[in-house]
Amino acid sequence: MQALFSNFLKQLQPFIPEERIITDPLRTLAYGTDASFYRLIPQIVIRANSESEIIRIIQLAQQEKVAITFRAAGTSLSGQAITDSVLIQLGDGWDSYRISPDAGRITLQPGVVGAQANRFLAPYKRKIGPDPASINTAKIGGIAANNASGMCCGTAQNSYRTLLNMRLVLADGTLVDTSDPESIRAFRNSHQGLLDALRALSAQVNANPTLKQRIEHKYRLKNTTGYALNSLVDYEDPIDILQHLMIGSEGTLGFISEITYQTVEEHEHKASALIFFNTVRAACEAVALLKHAPVAAVEMIDRAGLRSVERKPGMPELIRELPDDAAALLVETRASDSTTLNHQIQQIIETLRDTHTCQPIEFTTDAAQSALYWSVRKGLFPAVGAVRLTGTTVIIEDVAFPVERLADAVADLHQLFQRWHYDEAIIFGHALEGNLHFVFTQSFDTDDEIKRYEGLMDDVADLVVNRYDGSLKAEHGTGRNMAPYVELEWGQDAYLLMWELKALLDPSDILNPGVILNRDPHIHLQNLKPLPPANPLIDKCIECGFCEPVCPSRALTLTPRQRIVIWREIARLEQSGEDPTRLQKLRQDYRFQGDATCAACGLCSTACPVGINTGDLTREIRRDENLKHAGKAEWVARHFSATTQASRIAFGLANTTHKLIGTSAMTRVTGFARRLSGNRLQQWTPALPAPARRIKPTRAGFTSAPKVVYLPSCASRTMGPAAGDTDQTSLADKTEALLRKAGFDVIYPDNLSSLCCGMPFQSKGFFDAASLKAEELNKALLQATQGGDIPVYSDTSPCSLRMKEGIDERIQLYDSVEFIARFVLDKLDITPLQKPVALHITCSTTRMGLADSLTRIASACCNELVIPPDITCCGFAGDKGFSVPELNTSALRNLKSRVEHCTQGVSTSRTCEIGLSHHSGISYQSVVYLLDSCSKARPVSLATNTTHPLD
């Protein structure tokens, strides 16, 4: 076996760079993990960046008879994106898109995230049809390969129904573009036998009334079990049959390198209602009535599901008083104008007039309230995951029943849960399509628990297939989990037909073998993922991968999910005592892969369904490893003024040397010194700032102007503008000028040079030193604000976030963005710049919920605002841009191409702006510079009478 992979690897190396071929134990485990409850560790992981690379890899795999599996985002739940052979990840280079002039079509590469495709289409009031709950993370390749649907798309707007064309690579490495007549002509010449075989299978199905009726009957519901046999009935042209077979094939028949969707309308006007019923049956009867009403979505939640979210802020008090058999329907209706929307609302209410609801039906058009309802619905799966016992996994199953029999089906499912003692299970789903999800927790650490799971799944299969003739998989894909039940659901004739298709398109069985079709009746009980207790900070992680698109190290080392996977494996090996050599190697490699390259920015918590901040784990690990240096950290904290002065001197020396010897020589000299030191010396870049001018603090004046305490961060007190910045004014001077322009009397805290929020210490795990500085700062601010009577303006977003997490409740602390948006903007006359400006929204700004406010400020200052869609945290992470510059480089690897037409960039963190300037080729400075440059004080008579924050 090893010889097989060794030969494959040897032939791979001439055309795939070494850094994109992964074979080490840490990363093969990390990259091989998906959202399912299965684990297989690949022998080799390849990051492929182009279609030509995919073709050569497939050809090599065919030659060597090596199995390969394709991976997009890895959010799949049924084990279809894992392998113990070769895993092919989508690297950079798969994010292109094209929109037709009328926006009726969008062509997407498989690496585009679904939500991003919708953002591309938003200006045209269009969207793609599929809308899975994972759309913020799931990529188009996975959405198409799994025929993912979602809450609103049903069957009419899924990938199968909205597919127009695709580029696909078959198991022999042949590329065919179904939108290109020349490509089709060439394919017909080279693969006429394959096309004839598909045509013959279609004719065979259509000549078999029983089989044809079975296929048509199966697709009256949402159904992703097995292959898309409906393609043999719906289409005559074998090219159409072929491309529709790819939808839902889970990478077992070919690779989709590009897909063109017919887009669907995205209505601006929406209304939502959460409707409560005393019984599940009453709710299901209402669903049947709503089938013919103007509804876009109808989501059902059973009593157990409601109980899991009833104490969520904003939820109606009524929920806590509902009876045990109660249920709710979340109903949404959409229209192109408000008049039509109101008419539809009245139609829906009239449709349900004779049903008994727990309270009158009330629709809301308030976007925030609707978002709350939908966040509750989307949070049901993680709500169970968050309260499960440590060591158990959370499983979500996905079935469909005829809508008219939905009430009976729900009752029968509840009985199965009772029989097998799954008391915590909840049921919810897309009721309008009869599509139900049920979620439960499961331990796989004993034979009895595995048998209990097997018993439940056997009974579920019997119930869905034999009693209701429903779908065992409605939208989550067959994978390994449902492969043993495909024949039960489809019958022998259809099942054998699926095997024929697999043999026809992948005769060597190299494409994701064992997925969808598997002759092992117990494959769903094998290779179960261990979830040992590792740390209370991360034990609730369900490994869904929702965190990955926002992580700055995702293309360099590990994502938050992958860090947790490795830390769990380290914990498992420590607890079991097995394989100490492997444990030592994982720990050693984790220092760089998991710790050094973690920005600890916390953006992962904003995307995580259970709110895990993997940065907290990183800081805890750093604390344990840095204990021997804790005393030094406290000394630095107590002598902080001298520390910042030393930093200012170092910036001055670097700046002077740069001026003397020039950029090229400075780059060579500092690069050589860094390499000579084993990368212990900090990285120099041309964007390195000059030392900041010393601040001369002022005390409160005796004017009637409103006062504000200005707290410049230690970074903005230390770092001035870079040599290439157009405006050489220090941030403190610029901020003070802007605040005075807006009519504020600016004062500074005493002992300013000694003050720090503690973030530099906290990020390295020096928690005691961080607390010391936070306490000092609290005392200084209480004194400066006269016990909290004067608001505080913080000029650096990461510091603002740190302070907000532990500030004295008497202190009214505002981040610069928050203060400007609320109390400054309306006091200025702004003349927007007639040029594009690039905006970087820092991770801390996002975490504080101020991204929209920052965007509003910047938009007011220019005629075109550019926010690169794939740039999240910049990865500079305080000083990591100096100590681990590859993190910053990787996080911003696409920045330059996104902002190359801009001449100016803005953000809200001085350290972030260093990396942004270096990697973009344009100067980034605080948004304060932009606002000051295009504004003047508004005459008092015209100024908005904005209430002072503490009036």
Residues 664-687 have a mean pLDDT of 90
Q: How confident is the model at residue 950 (pLDDT cuts 50, 70, 90)?
A: very low
Give the tokens for residue 7.
Answer: 């030969």
Residues 652-663 have a mean pLDDT of 91
Provide CB contacts within 8 A for 688, sequence distance 6+: 651, 654, 655, 658, 722, 914
Residue 472 and residue 465 in contact, taking contact as beta carbons nearer than 8 Å: yes
Three-state DSSP at 194 gives helix
Q: How confident is the model at residue 700 (pLDDT cuts 50, 70, 90)?
A: low
Helix (H) or strand (E) holding 335: strand 327-335
Q: How confident is the model at residue 380 (pLDDT cuts 50, 70, 90)?
A: confident
Which tens digits make up the pLDDT trace of 74-119?
999 999 999 999 999 999 999 999 999 999 999 999 999 999 999 9
Residues 825-831 have a mean pLDDT of 96
Residues 131-157 have a mean pLDDT of 91
Residues 277-295 have a mean pLDDT of 95
Give the tokens for residue 47.
Answer: 């990051």
Instruction: Choose among 663, 654, 665: nearest CA to 689.
Output: 654
pLDDT at 745 over 90: yes
Report the first-to-last Cα separation within the chain, whole angstroms: 75
Residues 893-915 have a mean pLDDT of 96
Burial label for 701, CB within 10 Å (0-12, 13-18, 19+), is exposed
If you search the block for the tokens 């002509």, which residue do you land on? 185
pLDDT at 38 over 60: yes
Distance between CA 487 and CA 621 in Å, rounded? 49
pLDDT at 156 over 50: yes
Q: How confident is the model at residue 825 (pLDDT cuts 50, 70, 90)?
A: very high
| Averaged pLDDT of the chain | 94
187-191, 195-199, 423-427, 927-931: segment of lowest average pLDDT: 423-427
pLDDT at 60 over 50: yes
Residues 539-561 have a mean pLDDT of 96
DSSP conformational letter for 540: T
DSSP 725-774: -S--S-HHHHHHHHHHHTT-EEE--TTGGG---SHHHHTTT-HHHHHHHH
If you search the block for the tokens 């929920």, which residue do you land on? 319
Which tens digits make up the pLDDT trace of 458-482?
999 999 999 999 999 999 999 999 9
Distance between CA 579 and CA 119 in Å, rounded? 48
- The count of other CB atoms within 10 Å of the CB of residue 789 is 10
pLDDT for 314 equals: 79
- The count of other CB atoms within 10 Å of the CB of residue 674 is 18
Give the tokens for residue 754.
Answer: 């000694």
Residue 853 and residue 818 in contact, taking contact as beta carbons nearer than 8 Å: yes
DSSP conformational letter for 529: P
pLDDT at 526 over 70: yes
Residues 233-253 have a mean pLDDT of 98
pLDDT for 884 equals: 96
**pTM score above 0.75:** yes
